[in-house]
Every structure is written in structure tokens, then in C-alpha cells.
Amino acid sequence: MKIISYNVNGIRAAVKKGFLEWLQQADPDVICLQEIKANKEQLELQEFVDAGYPYTYWYSAEKKGYSGVAVLSKTEPKHIEYGTGIDYMDAEGRNLRVDFDGVSIMSLYLPSGTNSDRLERKFRYMDDFQEYVNELKQTHPNLVICGDYNICHEAIDIHDPVRNKKVSGFLPVEREWIGNFIDSGFIDSFRHLNKEPHNYSWWSYRANARANNKGWRIDYNMVAAPLEDKIQRALILPEAKHSDHCPIVVELDV
């Protein structure tokens, strides 16, 4: 099973930049999208069917043009879970899970911490999400949580760890949280198979950051520990340029 996660920074804008043609070439079995910034009614759903994805699930934020996640699949899931049941999370459309035989796949969009209010909200979300996942694993042990975590874990995951140590996304408390999240029973699939530096999934639009590869690795395909021996391949696709993020891939033998 080939799974891709991609923060598209607006699905309608991405489609205009060739997203659907790229999707057909990339050919994942399942793709998790974040920051779709659209309601289902605003999309030409037949375009996704024509691209080979007849099963599309959209979970938008209550606020128009903001946040939202989606999952597109070639095959029909056994179950679709919209949200977490935690009201403030679900109002922003940040979690959508599809269950198949042998694996459950979640598209996650964790908040950014761009100012003090948002940072406080992010910390609350991080704590509540960890509790939610701890419970979820009891009934769904084979979880793959794909998405934009808005956190770099280690110094190797960011182009300038010294100057960014006080910037949200690389704060000690955030790094500690994602380390604890991994320790709670998950595998950072990319770092599991790739130890090289200078691999990023997001670049600022400022200062020609992408051309100079001054990026951050804040997108992850986190694979639950019971699936460790099923991880076959994990990679980042920086040549796909429909967003300020790029897609990330994990392939599992399930």
C-alpha cells in the first residue's frame, strides 16, 4: 500500500497548478490532504474520480477557506471517522480517519503556533490529541497518522536549528512532545529509513527559501509500532510544487 501525505495549502489552488495530473503519475493507493481550505460543494468531485480516486472524503472547517483535511482512496474503506469528538478540534476540520483491513489511516493537520493565542491552543491540542490517540490505539493498533504536525523533531530536520530555537515549530516543548509521541508507540517512517540531512517538507515563500533548500521537515507519516516490519519505503517528493509543502510517501506491505 502506497500512502502519500500532502499539505496542499488550498486544494483548488493546487488543482490549478497541476495537482490532479501529478496525482495520476504518483499513483498512491491513499492520499491524505491537509489545509484543503474548501468545502466539498466548492469542488468538482468528478475530477478526482477521473484521476482514479472514486472514494473521496472531505472534512472541512466551520470557518470558510480555512484548515480542513481530506482522504482520497482507490478502494472503499470499511469505515470513515470524521473528527475526534473533541469539539474545538472538529470545528477546525483537523482529523479524518479511514479504516481498511489491517491498517487505519488518519489525515492530521496539527495547528501552527504563529502567535501566543495560537501557541496556547496548539499546546492544548497536542495534549488532547495524545490522549485521544492513546485510547484509539486500544481498538485500532495498526494506525498510520499522516499529516502536517507543524513541528520539527530534531536539529537535522530544520535548516537553521540555532536561529530557530525560539520559533514555534522548533520550540523545546514542541520537540519534546513529538519525541514523546513517537515514544508512545510510533515510528517516524522517513527517519526510520533515511538518516541524511537536508530533507525538508516545507519552505517559506520568503527569501527564495525553497530554491536554496532552507526548509523544515514538519510533515510525517507516523506508523504505529506493530507495523514496523511492514515499512518498505519512505521518501519525500520535493519536486512536486503545488504548495509551500511537498508530498511525503510511505509504502507498507499490508
Q: Give 179-213 pLDDT, tens digit per residue.
A: 999 999 999 999 999 999 999 999 999 999 999 99
- CA-wise closest residue to 106 among 70, 139, 55: 70
Residues of the domain holding 228: 2-252
CATH of residue 179's domain is: 3.60.10.10
Q: Give 53-75 pLDDT, tens digit per residue.
A: 999 999 999 999 999 999 999 99
Contacts of residue 129, Cβ cutoff 8 Å, sequence gap at least 6: 84, 89, 108, 110
pLDDT beyond 90 at 114: no
Is 117 annotated as catalytic? no
Report the predicted TM-score, pTM, of the whole model to 2 decimal places. Answer: 0.98
The SS3 call for residue 234 is: strand
Which of 50, 128, 148, 244 is flagged as catalytic? 148
Cβ 93 vs Cβ 35: under 8 Å: no
pLDDT beyond 90 at 115: no
Q: State in Å, rounded, how far the first CA of the chain is from the last one.
A: 7
Q: How many domains does the chain have?
A: 1
